[in-house]
Amino acid sequence: MASNISICGICDLRHLSNPSTHWCQDCDEALCLECKEHHTLLKATRGHTTIPINDYENLPAFITDIKQYCDMHNEKYQNYCQKHECPVCCKCIQDHAKCTENIVHIETVIKHSKTSQNFDDLNQSVSDLQTNITQMQKNREDNLTQLADQCKSAIKKIREFRIKVNHHLDAIEKGLITKLQDAENKCSQQIKEVIKSLIELESEISNFDNILQGIKQHASELQVYLATREIGKQVSDKEKRLTSMMENKRFDNLTVSLEIDTKLKNILSDVKEFGTVSLETDPTNEKLINMKSRQAQITAVVKSFDDIKLKQVNKFDSGSKQVTGCIILPDGRMAFTEFGYKRLSIRKADGSPDFEIPLKESVAFDLTLVKDATVAVSSGNYIGDRKCIQIIDMNSREITKILDTTTRAYGVVCVNEKLVFCGYTPNRIYTIDVKTEQQSEISSTINVGRCSYITYFRNKFYMTNGRNHSVTSFDHKCNVIWSFNDVNMKTPKGIAVDNSGNVFVASLRSNNVTMISPDGSRAKQIVDQKNGLNEPCALHYDRSTNQLLVANLRGTVYLFNSGVDVHLLCEQVREY
């Protein structure tokens, strides 16, 4: 093999210097255009994966250093030792004689590495780390502004009082302002040092996202598997560094306050100082995202798709006649939108009636949890109604805010305090900020149908389209990840995702709930008419309890527990 990958490895053995155009991931060898063509046609190598040499060169060095062949025996890796966490060739296996129970075929380990839960979790860790850094940087910048405002306010107070006591206070006024400015400078310097550290930390990890995308597209499965471990360690180190900063109170707010001396009333005879400057530290309310849960090495324990079953634990009548949306609240209660009747129906955890909230501005189509006991209710399309999304406090049972929309809002989901919804006429994906009420269009290319529903999980959106009977998964930039159609999924409506990324879809016309695999390649009917479903429309998955809530359009509600069929799993283990 040529040490210079810019030269074709095969041609180099023939003492030729043809430039390489491709890289074979299975042979770990550079190929010119002619050799690549022969490589593709040969029976022994036609199944090998080749990528453009430029793409290979763009991979980080620690990725390209991961080889498919054993350095000691020049044999291709065929097995993996789980005890020593390393690939082994057919000759290396002799050195692992005591690891017999831990030796598995390498395909078992690296299969689907790019779409595995490990890879998704690592992506999420990088994303969380970037979010944490951005959040803390903004927090420090806000504190700078707050300090400046506090100092301005203090100076104004000083000046107002100064007018009343005439020129006698000139000297001590100047001294106090100096103290305030010194306090601000001291605090500002501390905060700037924290911001500088955050910027440096962000710079160190900003390249991880590009690296992950690059290795996902161009690295081999083995390279991806081993590389993610290395990247995971680096990400964990950065997370520990950020956590250490939090524990050392580097993110606590610094404040400046001013108290006017009461002796100023007798200023001509008694007062020697204009006032006092005090510095206080208020603990920050910010929290790092998922830091504790990501300290350990990234691992994944995912239930087998085939083994997941639903067990009915409750059935009741919601008292509603046209249920189009449902949700399980954090306290276990359930909320249902009743389209056409302009009301939100609340049920206790056991399904018994609790209370109702009337909606004046529009009918209720779908709803999503904003935070704690606050929900957002979309309007759908009803003649004469206001185009809006209503924010409701479940504790006070009042509408706290109404967000006007430029289009009819159907399916809605809350992502980072912003509502993402399926708009109709024009058919688009939109977002609206709950705080600022600013609305913007995310995409005009995603095929949105009337009455489309949408949900979100781990940086991915999932949307139903009842007109073409499809489910589409796409990212934040509206790049389609996968699209799924099935004859047993007619007029899909409500949609939800479990903790493993499995997608549940309620289909109105086929009277069933379909479960789609995380990569959109497989599906199965998990409950249907035999379980009592009749025009199921609304659906919600509570990831904290692993419960699925399904509501028929005419009001009958079913609550299921999600789990593995233990008997089936045992049978499969015995057969293996």
3-state secondary structure of 456: strand
Number of C-beta neighbours around residue 174 at 10 A: 12
pLDDT tens-digit readout, 235-274: 888 888 888 888 888 888 888 888 877 776 676 677 677 7
pLDDT at 405: 93
3-state secondary structure of 113: helix
pLDDT at 273: 74
Q: What angle do CA 74, 225, 293 make, to 5 degrees?
A: 150
Of the candidates 349, 307, 224, 295, the residue with the CA atom closest to the CA atom of residue 500: 307
At residue 270, φ and ψ (nearest 5 deg) are -115, -40
Cis peptide before 330 (omega within 30 of 0): no
Q: Edge to edge, what strands does the sheet with 308-317 contain?
A: 308-317, 556-564, 547-552, 536-542
Of the candidates 92, 51, 99, the residue with the CA atom closest to the CA atom of residue 214: 51
Positions in the chain short of pLDDT 50? 1-2, 291-302, 564-576
The half-sphere exposure of 469 on its side-chain side, counting CA atoms within 13 A, is 12
Of the candidates 283, 288, 324, 8, the residue with the CA atom closest to the CA atom of residue 136: 288
DSSP 518-530: TTSS-EEEEE-GG
pLDDT at 568: 40
Q: Are strands 275-282 and 253-260 parallel, antiparallel or unpaired?
A: antiparallel
pLDDT at 16: 92
Q: What angle do CA 35, 36, 41 make, to 5 degrees?
A: 95
**312 Cβ contact partners less than 8 Å away, ≥ 6 residues apart:** 531, 558, 559, 560
Distance CA(424)–CA(56), nearest Å, equals 44
Place of tokens 């420090």: 140
Of the candidates 502, 504, 480, the residue with the CA atom closest to the CA atom of residue 492: 504
Token pair listed for 447: 């095929």
Token pair listed for 542: 């509570």
- Extended strands (E) in 362-407: 367-371, 374-378, 388-393, 398-404
Q: Alpha carbon of 110 to those of 77, 116, 142, 440, 573: distances in Å?
A: 12, 9, 45, 41, 21
Task: Please check whether residue 574 is in contact with residue 329, taking contact to mean a CB–CB distance below 8 angstroms.
Answer: no
Q: What angle do CA 236, 241, 242 make, to 5 degrees?
A: 95
Distance CA(349)–CA(331), nearest Å, equals 8
pLDDT at 567: 41
The two most distant CA atoms of the chain are separated, in Å, by 104
pLDDT at 477: 83
Place of tokens 């430039």: 19
Task: Please check whether residue 499 is in contact with residue 514, taking contact to mean a CB–CB distance below 8 angstroms.
Answer: no
Number of C-beta neighbours around residue 138 at 10 A: 13
- Mutual angle of helices 170-218 and 117-165, in 10-degree steps: 170
Distance CA(451)–CA(380), nearest Å, equals 7
Distance CA(225)–CA(221), nearest Å, equals 6
Calculate the CA dihedral of residues 39, 44, 49, 52 and round it to 10 degrees. -10
Q: Whole-model pTM?
A: 0.53
- Mutual angle of helices 221-247 and 117-165, in 10-degree steps: 30
Eight-class DSSP state of 3 = S
Distance CA(553)–CA(557), nearest Å, equals 9
pLDDT tens-digit readout, 401-449: 999 999 999 999 999 889 999 998 888 899 999 999 999 998 778 889 8
**What is the identity of the amino acid at 524?**
K
At residue 7, φ and ψ (nearest 5 deg) are -110, 135
CATH architecture of 311-561: 6 Propeller (2.120)
> How many residues are listed for the chain in this entry?
576
List 314's β-bridge partners, or say none.
Answer: 559
Element (H, E) at 235: helix 221-247
Task: Please check whether residue 201 is in contact with residue 238, taking contact to mean a CB–CB distance below 8 angstroms.
Answer: yes
Would you call 433 exposed, middle or buried from its count of C-beta atoms within 10 A (0-12, 13-18, 19+)?
A: middle
What's 272-298 look like in SS3?
CCCEEEEEEEECCCCCCCCCHHHCCCC
Of the candidates 302, 282, 281, 346, the residue with the CA atom closest to the CA atom of residue 320: 346
Element (H, E) at 327: strand 323-328
Do the first three CATH levels of 1-66 and 311-561 match, i.e. the same topology?
no
Distance CA(425)–CA(432), nearest Å, equals 17
The H-assigned helical ranges of 90-116 are: 106-110
Domain extent listing, the chain: 1-66, 119-270, 311-561
Distance CA(191)–CA(141), nearest Å, equals 8
Pick the CATH number of 1-66 from 1.10.4160, 1.10.3470, 4.10.640, 3.90.10: 4.10.640
